[in-house]
Amino acid sequence: MREIIFDTETTGFDPKAGDRLVEIGCVELIDRRETGVTFHAYFNPERDMPAAAEAVHGLSIQFLSDKPLFATRADELIEFLGDAPLVAHNAVFDFGFVNAELARAGRPGLDMTRMCCTVQMARKLHPGAKHNLDALCVRYGIDRSHRVKHGALLDAELLAHLYIEMTGGRQIGLGLAATSGPAATSLAGEAARPTIQARAFREPRPHAATPAEIARHTLFVAALNQPLWDDSP
Protein backbone atom coordinates (compact mmCIF):
# COMPACT_ATOMS: atom_id res chain seq x y z
CA MET A 1 0.00 0.00 0.00
CA ARG A 2 1.24 3.49 -0.89
CA GLU A 3 1.06 6.22 1.75
CA ILE A 4 2.33 9.80 1.78
CA ILE A 5 3.73 11.40 4.93
CA PHE A 6 3.81 15.18 4.62
CA ASP A 7 4.43 18.39 6.53
CA THR A 8 4.03 22.09 5.78
CA GLU A 9 5.53 25.39 6.89
CA THR A 10 3.45 28.57 6.76
CA THR A 11 3.38 32.27 7.55
CA GLY A 12 1.01 31.71 10.46
CA PHE A 13 -1.90 29.69 11.79
CA ASP A 14 -4.96 30.63 9.73
CA PRO A 15 -5.26 30.54 5.94
CA LYS A 16 -8.64 32.31 6.20
CA ALA A 17 -6.84 35.30 7.77
CA GLY A 18 -4.38 35.54 4.89
CA ASP A 19 -1.64 33.20 6.05
CA ARG A 20 0.05 31.27 3.26
CA LEU A 21 1.88 28.01 2.67
CA VAL A 22 5.63 28.52 2.14
CA GLU A 23 7.03 24.97 2.17
CA ILE A 24 5.80 21.41 1.75
CA GLY A 25 7.71 18.16 2.15
CA CYS A 26 6.33 14.71 1.25
CA VAL A 27 7.79 11.24 1.82
CA GLU A 28 6.52 8.15 0.04
CA LEU A 29 5.94 4.89 1.90
CA ILE A 30 5.07 1.62 0.24
CA ASP A 31 4.05 -1.20 2.55
CA ARG A 32 5.18 1.00 5.45
CA ARG A 33 8.72 1.36 4.14
CA GLU A 34 10.37 4.51 2.81
CA THR A 35 11.07 4.28 -0.89
CA GLY A 36 13.43 7.28 -1.04
CA VAL A 37 10.97 9.12 -3.31
CA THR A 38 10.07 12.59 -2.02
CA PHE A 39 8.45 15.83 -3.11
CA HIS A 40 9.77 19.10 -1.69
CA ALA A 41 9.09 22.71 -2.64
CA TYR A 42 9.33 26.26 -1.32
CA PHE A 43 6.75 28.85 -2.36
CA ASN A 44 6.65 32.61 -2.59
CA PRO A 45 3.79 33.59 -0.25
CA GLU A 46 3.25 36.98 -1.92
CA ARG A 47 3.19 38.66 1.48
CA ASP A 48 5.45 39.43 4.43
CA MET A 49 6.85 36.85 6.84
CA PRO A 50 5.94 37.49 10.50
CA ALA A 51 8.94 37.37 12.83
CA ALA A 52 7.30 34.69 15.01
CA ALA A 53 6.85 32.36 12.02
CA GLU A 54 10.38 32.98 10.77
CA ALA A 55 11.74 32.12 14.22
CA VAL A 56 10.10 28.69 13.92
CA HIS A 57 11.19 27.64 10.43
CA GLY A 58 13.92 30.15 9.53
CA LEU A 59 12.40 31.01 6.12
CA SER A 60 12.74 34.72 5.42
CA ILE A 61 10.82 36.61 2.76
CA GLN A 62 14.18 37.38 1.14
CA PHE A 63 14.83 33.65 0.74
CA LEU A 64 11.32 32.98 -0.57
CA SER A 65 11.05 35.96 -2.89
CA ASP A 66 12.48 34.12 -5.92
CA LYS A 67 10.64 30.85 -5.26
CA PRO A 68 7.71 29.79 -7.48
CA LEU A 69 4.10 30.48 -6.62
CA PHE A 70 2.13 27.50 -5.34
CA ALA A 71 -0.06 27.51 -8.46
CA THR A 72 2.92 26.81 -10.72
CA ARG A 73 3.62 23.50 -8.96
CA ALA A 74 0.10 22.56 -7.91
CA ASP A 75 -0.36 19.94 -10.64
CA GLU A 76 3.02 18.40 -9.85
CA LEU A 77 2.03 18.09 -6.19
CA ILE A 78 -1.38 16.63 -7.05
CA GLU A 79 0.23 14.03 -9.29
CA PHE A 80 2.73 13.07 -6.59
CA LEU A 81 0.03 12.67 -3.93
CA GLY A 82 -2.12 10.54 -6.22
CA ASP A 83 -4.91 8.80 -4.34
CA ALA A 84 -2.75 7.63 -1.43
CA PRO A 85 -3.73 8.11 2.22
CA LEU A 86 -2.09 11.27 3.58
CA VAL A 87 -0.44 11.23 7.00
CA ALA A 88 0.45 14.43 8.88
CA HIS A 89 1.04 15.59 12.43
CA ASN A 90 -1.92 17.76 13.43
CA ALA A 91 -3.27 16.93 9.99
CA VAL A 92 -6.24 19.32 10.07
CA PHE A 93 -3.76 22.23 10.07
CA ASP A 94 -1.78 20.91 7.09
CA PHE A 95 -4.87 19.90 5.11
CA GLY A 96 -6.36 23.33 5.74
CA PHE A 97 -3.38 25.16 4.24
CA VAL A 98 -2.93 22.82 1.28
CA ASN A 99 -6.63 23.00 0.43
CA ALA A 100 -6.62 26.80 0.73
CA GLU A 101 -3.72 26.98 -1.75
CA LEU A 102 -5.37 24.46 -4.09
CA ALA A 103 -8.57 26.52 -4.05
CA ARG A 104 -6.61 29.69 -4.78
CA ALA A 105 -4.99 27.88 -7.72
CA GLY A 106 -8.37 26.71 -9.04
CA ARG A 107 -7.80 23.05 -8.17
CA PRO A 108 -10.04 20.70 -6.16
CA GLY A 109 -9.13 20.25 -2.52
CA LEU A 110 -7.85 17.11 -0.85
CA ASP A 111 -10.57 14.75 0.36
CA MET A 112 -10.53 14.85 4.15
CA THR A 113 -11.34 11.13 4.28
CA ARG A 114 -7.76 10.53 3.13
CA MET A 115 -6.43 12.18 6.28
CA CYS A 116 -4.53 10.28 8.96
CA CYS A 117 -3.47 12.40 11.96
CA THR A 118 -0.55 11.18 14.08
CA VAL A 119 -1.46 13.59 16.88
CA GLN A 120 -4.81 11.82 17.27
CA MET A 121 -3.01 8.48 17.15
CA ALA A 122 -0.59 9.61 19.87
CA ARG A 123 -3.41 10.83 22.12
CA LYS A 124 -4.98 7.38 22.00
CA LEU A 125 -1.68 5.55 22.50
CA HIS A 126 -0.26 7.86 25.18
CA PRO A 127 -3.04 9.79 26.95
CA GLY A 128 -1.79 12.63 29.11
CA ALA A 129 1.69 12.67 27.56
CA LYS A 130 3.24 15.33 25.31
CA HIS A 131 2.29 14.80 21.68
CA ASN A 132 4.55 17.20 19.81
CA LEU A 133 7.00 15.74 17.28
CA ASP A 134 10.08 16.22 19.48
CA ALA A 135 8.51 14.51 22.49
CA LEU A 136 7.29 11.57 20.43
CA CYS A 137 10.68 11.14 18.77
CA VAL A 138 12.23 10.91 22.25
CA ARG A 139 9.60 8.38 23.33
CA TYR A 140 10.23 6.16 20.30
CA GLY A 141 14.02 6.58 20.23
CA ILE A 142 14.13 8.47 16.91
CA ASP A 143 17.22 10.65 16.43
CA ARG A 144 16.19 14.26 15.87
CA SER A 145 19.52 15.87 16.81
CA HIS A 146 19.77 17.46 13.34
CA ARG A 147 16.43 19.24 13.80
CA VAL A 148 17.55 22.75 14.73
CA LYS A 149 14.48 24.45 13.23
CA HIS A 150 11.27 23.17 11.70
CA GLY A 151 11.60 22.12 8.06
CA ALA A 152 8.84 20.49 6.02
CA LEU A 153 10.89 17.71 4.42
CA LEU A 154 12.97 17.01 7.54
CA ASP A 155 9.85 16.88 9.70
CA ALA A 156 8.10 14.62 7.17
CA GLU A 157 11.08 12.24 7.29
CA LEU A 158 11.00 12.18 11.10
CA LEU A 159 7.25 11.70 11.02
CA ALA A 160 7.63 8.77 8.62
CA HIS A 161 9.90 7.01 11.15
CA LEU A 162 7.48 7.88 13.94
CA TYR A 163 4.42 6.69 12.01
CA ILE A 164 6.08 3.35 11.28
CA GLU A 165 6.90 2.87 14.97
CA MET A 166 3.45 3.98 16.15
CA THR A 167 1.78 1.49 13.82
CA GLY A 168 3.77 -1.55 14.90
CA GLY A 169 7.38 -1.02 13.88
CA ARG A 170 9.24 -2.41 10.92
CA GLN A 171 8.63 -6.05 11.91
CA ILE A 172 4.88 -5.94 11.41
CA GLY A 173 4.86 -7.38 7.92
CA LEU A 174 7.26 -10.26 8.46
CA GLY A 175 6.43 -13.94 8.76
CA LEU A 176 3.83 -15.50 6.49
CA ALA A 177 2.51 -12.20 5.09
CA ALA A 178 4.01 -12.89 1.64
CA THR A 179 1.82 -15.95 1.23
CA SER A 180 -1.84 -15.37 0.45
CA GLY A 181 -5.00 -17.38 -0.07
CA PRO A 182 -6.37 -20.43 1.74
CA ALA A 183 -2.94 -22.02 1.99
CA ALA A 184 -1.65 -19.02 3.89
CA THR A 185 -4.57 -19.22 6.33
CA SER A 186 -3.88 -22.89 6.90
CA LEU A 187 -0.15 -22.36 7.35
CA ALA A 188 -0.69 -19.44 9.71
CA GLY A 189 -3.04 -21.57 11.80
CA GLU A 190 -0.54 -24.40 11.97
CA ALA A 191 2.29 -22.00 12.90
CA ALA A 192 0.24 -20.47 15.68
CA ARG A 193 -0.91 -23.81 17.12
CA PRO A 194 1.48 -25.07 19.83
CA THR A 195 2.76 -28.64 19.73
CA ILE A 196 1.56 -30.55 22.81
CA GLN A 197 3.53 -33.59 23.92
CA ALA A 198 2.34 -36.12 26.50
CA ARG A 199 4.32 -36.05 29.73
CA ALA A 200 4.53 -38.56 32.56
CA PHE A 201 2.59 -37.58 35.67
CA ARG A 202 4.71 -36.36 38.59
CA GLU A 203 3.54 -36.20 42.18
CA PRO A 204 3.71 -32.66 43.65
CA ARG A 205 6.77 -31.99 45.79
CA PRO A 206 6.32 -31.22 49.50
CA HIS A 207 6.85 -27.52 50.26
CA ALA A 208 6.45 -27.42 54.05
CA ALA A 209 9.40 -26.14 56.13
CA THR A 210 11.37 -28.71 58.09
CA PRO A 211 11.49 -28.51 61.91
CA ALA A 212 15.09 -27.32 61.69
CA GLU A 213 14.12 -24.48 59.30
CA ILE A 214 11.26 -23.43 61.59
CA ALA A 215 13.62 -23.31 64.56
CA ARG A 216 16.16 -21.16 62.71
CA HIS A 217 13.40 -18.80 61.60
CA THR A 218 12.12 -18.44 65.16
CA LEU A 219 15.61 -17.50 66.39
CA PHE A 220 16.04 -15.00 63.55
CA VAL A 221 12.72 -13.25 64.28
CA ALA A 222 13.49 -13.09 68.02
CA ALA A 223 16.73 -11.25 67.26
CA LEU A 224 15.04 -8.48 65.23
CA ASN A 225 15.02 -5.01 66.80
CA GLN A 226 11.54 -3.41 66.70
CA PRO A 227 10.08 -5.26 63.71
CA LEU A 228 7.38 -3.38 61.77
CA TRP A 229 4.64 -5.82 62.70
CA ASP A 230 5.25 -5.42 66.41
CA ASP A 231 2.89 -2.61 67.53
CA SER A 232 3.25 -3.25 71.29
CA PRO A 233 4.24 -0.15 73.36
Catalytic residue IDs: 150
Question: 137 in the Ramachandran plot: left (φ > 0), alpha (ψ -120 to 50) or beta?
Answer: alpha
Task: Look up residue 166 and give its amino acid.
Answer: M
Output Rg (C-alpha) for the chain, integer angstroms: 29
Beta-carbon contacts of 63 under 8 Å, excluding residues fewer than 6 positions away, are 42
* 54 in a labelled binding site: no
Q: How many CB atoms lie within 10 A of CB 117?
A: 18
Q: Does 19 appear as a known binding residue?
A: no
Distance between CA atoms of 106 and 98, rounded to whole angstroms?
A: 12
Is 57 annotated to bind ligand? yes
155 is in an annotated binding site: yes
As separate numbers, helices (DSSP H) first and strands (DSSP E) second, the chain gives 9, 5
Beta bridge partners of 136: none
Q: Which SS3 state, helix, strand or coil, does residue 3 take?
A: strand
CA proximity to 121, closest of 162, 80, 161, 93: 162
Q: Where do the DSSP E strands lie in 94-198?
A: 115-117
What residue numbers does the annotated binding site for a divalent metal cation cover? 7, 9, 155
What residue numbers does the annotated binding site for substrate cover? 7, 9, 57, 155
